[in-house]
Structure 1
Amino acid sequence: MEDAKSSRTALGVARMRALHQFSPQAALFRDPYASAILGDAAPTAPELDQEDERGRRMRLFVAARARLAEDWLAAAVCRSVRQVVVLGAGLDTFSLRNPYPDVAVFEVDHPATQAWKRKCLADAGLAEPPGTTFVPVDFERQSLADELALAGLKLAEPSFFIWLGVVPYLTQEAIFSTLSWIAAMPGSEVVFDYSEPDENRDAAGQAALSFHAARVAAVGEPWISFFVPAALAQSLRELGFDEIEDLESSDIFARFSKAPKATTANSGGHLIRARRSA
């Protein structure tokens, strides 16, 4: 992403979340602010009729990853976690929907994208949530730890990190630097999504990767990092995470549709939860 421009892919994801509210599967992830924050850029219900199967699956994955992340957050709150950090927040609306009055939310994003989001909120007549702190950070150039500490994050206390739709766009150095820092805080937890490389996918997964990778590259935000699940899990354990749950997209779809999981398919998209319990 260019330094002076907001994220085009963040806009695309926000439109998928908003379009999802009109879909037959809307109960999977309810977001009453998804359209409001987009203003004139919000999709309309008839756009569902234009969805192809690839677009439908991506929309459902975007909705399901948000639902799962917030379900896991609910479990963390029950364990007395009182700090949530949304990394690469884009136009995410959790801070507007936050059901936990005593949980502090820190939204982190590239300065240009965050300024755009705050303008979207103002244009929509939505007040910035009082329990939310906006923290502008360029992941590749600034210290996340330093910026969050300056913003008031209590580093001695556990936090829950939501990191969706970001990891594929970062270098592995930046990714593991962030994960290492999170792992150094006992009781902290992170949820992020990632993609497997082309050679690990089935034919449909390879076609989907080619299609979506070309689209994000065309707007100047290419995917650059891919992971093999077993190797990633090993790296996470070496960092200190001792509780890891990795769901491939077919697992996620089977969970929410109550349909049996395909035994051979591998579309290559994953959502992973990693926690250092002690």
Structure 2
Amino acid sequence: MRTGQASRTAYAAARYRAAHQVLEQGAIFEDPLALRILGQPADELLGDAPRRGMRMFIAARHRFAEDHLAAAVTRGVGTAVVLGAGLDTFAYRNPHADLRVVEIDHPDTQAWKRERLADAGIGVPANVRHVGVDFERESLADRLELDGPAFFLWLGVVPYLTAGAFAQTLGLIAGRPGNEVVFDYAQSPERMPAGRRTALEARAARVARIGEPWLTFFEPEEIAADLRVRGLHEIEDLGPAGLAARYFNRPDVPPETPGGHVLHARRR
């Protein structure tokens, strides 16, 4: 993202979440604050219908993440850390009474979010804390103080990080027993069939033009090996086939289909 500006991809993700509430009535992921924080009337989102693939992926990744978070709360995890929070609304509709939430994002994007919250009349609960961090220039470890295991929601961020910034943040997460993480990642467009590769390369070019290029890709076996070396186990990694089967009643998608993945792992 460009210094002095809020993340435009964070706005795009928020729009997809809001459009899912309008076009699919939140069938996969229900977010009653998505429209309010976006600040646009529902009828303005009807034209987003053709962008169904990305919209449903974003809905599924949030459902996956928040389902795993709910399970972590039952195991006693008391803090959720939202990395690259953008316009994410979890902290403001948190159903877990004793769960603290820390939102981490670039200071420019956080300032924009605070304006959106105020304009939408969405209050900030007492158990929510905001921490401004530029992941490429600052160490998260220097800014984040936790007194016990935490659950990290790291959605829509990893592809935009350098390999070094990703490794540094993952190392922090893996450093405390009991920590858990959900993040999404992209396989390289080179692994895609010709039609999908063309579409992904076009999208990559669009986000690069607004100053938020895709920088990091992984293959499932590669990221699984990295996680295990760091002590992160109990890995669940859903790619296109797994997401289609779990959330869209589509067991017919071939297991080897490349695309976007969402993954959960836990440090023992």
- What is the TM-score of this pair, normalised by structure 2? 0.95
Write the letter of the residue equivalent to 1:77.
V
Q: Which is worse superposed, 67-76 or 237-246?
A: 237-246
| Equivalent residues in 2 for 1:11-50, closer than 5 Å | 11-24=11-24, 26-39=26-39, 42=40, 44-45=42-43, 47-50=45-48
> 2:124 maps to which residue?
128
Of 56, 61, 85 in structure 1, the residue corresponding to residue 57 of structure 2 is 61
Deviation at 1:25, TM superposition (A): 5.5
Q: Deviation at 1:253?
A: 2.0
TM-score (norm 1): 0.92
Q: Give the CA RMSD over aligned residues.
A: 1.5
- Closer/same/farther in 2, CA of residues 4 and 269 from structure 1, 3 Å limit: same
Report deviation, 1:43: 5.3
Partner of 1:175: 166
Among 232, 242, 245, which residue is 1:254 paired with? 245
2:81 touches 2:102 (CA, 8 Å); kept in 1?
yes
Identical pairs, percent: 53
- Deviates further, 256-265 or 65-74: 256-265
Deviation at 1:13, TM superposition (A): 0.6
Q: CA deviation at 1:68?
A: 0.6
1:257, distance to aligned residue in structure 2 (A): 1.6
Aligned AA (1:205): R
Does the alignment pair 1:164 with 2:160? no
Looking at structure 1, the residues matched to 48 and 17 of structure 2 have their Cα atoms a distance apart, in angstroms, of: 16
CA contact under 8 A between 1:19 and 1:45: conserved in structure 2?
Answer: no
Alpha-carbon distance in structure 2 between the residues aligned to 1:101 and 1:59: 29
The change in CA–CA distance for 1:244 and 1:204 in structure 2 (over 3 A counts) is farther
Q: Is the 8 A contact 1:159 1:189 kept in 2?
A: yes
**Residue in structure 2 matched with residue 224 of structure 1 by the alignment:** 215
The Cα shift of 1:228 comes to 1.4
Structure 2 equivalent of residue 103 of structure 1:
99
Shift of 1:38: 1.7
Residue equivalent to 1:197: 188
The Cα offsets for residues 144-197 of structure 1, whole Å up to 9 and x where unpaired, read as 112012xxx22xx11000000000000011101111111111011110001011
**How far off its partner does 1:48 sit?**
3.1
Change (3 A) 1:207 1:251: farther
Other structure's SS at 2:183 match: strand
> 2:167 is aligned with what amino acid?
F
Q: Distance in 1 between matches of 2:68 and 2:128?
A: 20
Shift of 1:202: 2.5
Aligned residue identity for 2:170: L
Question: Matched residue of 1:35: which SS?
Answer: helix
In structure 1, the residue corresponding to 2:246 is in which secondary structure? Answer: helix
Q: Distance in 2 between matches of 1:89 and 1:178?
A: 15
Look up the equivalent residue of 2:8 and give its one-letter code: R
Checking the alignment, whether the CA contact within 8 Å between 2:244 and 2:251 is kept in structure 1 is no
| Among candidates 69, 78, 82, match of residue 73 of structure 1 | 69
CA distances 1:69-99 after superposition (whole Å, capped 9, x unpaired): 0000011001000110000000000001101
1:18–1:43 contact (8 Å) kept in structure 2: no
Q: Give SS of 1:22's match.
A: helix
Q: Which residue of 2 aligns with 1:143?
A: 139
| CA spacing shift, 1:250–1:43, aligned 2, 3 Å | farther
1:17-49 Cα offsets, whole Å, 9 max, x none, are 11110123522111111011122xx25346435
Cα distance in 2 between the residues matched to 1:10 and 1:170: 14
Residues 241, 255 of structure 2: 8 Å contact kept = no
- What do residues 235-273 of structure 1 show as CA deviations (whole Å, max 9, x unaligned)? 111111122111102321221121213226624211011
Map of 1:86 onto structure 2: 82
Figure out how many residues of one structure are paired with residues of the other and give that number.
268
Are residues 1:117 and 2:113 paired?
yes
**Paired residues of 2:240 and 2:253 also in contact (CA < 8 A):** no
Matched letter for residue 143 of structure 2: E
